[in-house]
């Protein structure tokens, strides 16, 4: 299972959802879907924009957990 830690990175950078949306050009709705772990897929261009805005690596946002 993939866990999305977007909210953690946003908190570390003291950035709101609307600020991230403005910085990336990604709608707040789409960012919210990703943030709440409801996204089924993420485009590399989206991931690049988020990493650029938050000054982080993809591994800072995503975490893998084995389902047991």
Place of tokens 């000054």: 55
pTM: 0.91
Which residue, 13, 15, 11, 20, is CA-closest to 47? 20
CATH number of the domain where residue 57 is located = 1.10.260.40
**Which domain covers residue 12, as residue numbers?**
2-64
Task: Report yes or no: 4 and 39 within 8 Å, Cβ to Cβ.
Answer: yes
Q: What percent of the chain has pLDDT over 70?
A: 100
Average pLDDT value for residue range 46-53: 97
Total of domains in the chain = 1
pLDDT score, position 62: 96
């Amino acid at each position: 299972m993939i866990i999305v830690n977007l909210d953690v990175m946003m908190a570390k950078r003291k950035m709101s959802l609307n600020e991230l949306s403005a910085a990336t050009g990604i709608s707040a709705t789409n960012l919210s879907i990703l943030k709440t772990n409801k996204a089924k897929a993420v485009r590399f261009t989206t991931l690049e924009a988020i990493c650029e805005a938050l000054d982080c690596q993809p591994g800072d946002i995503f975490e893998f957990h084995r389902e047991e």
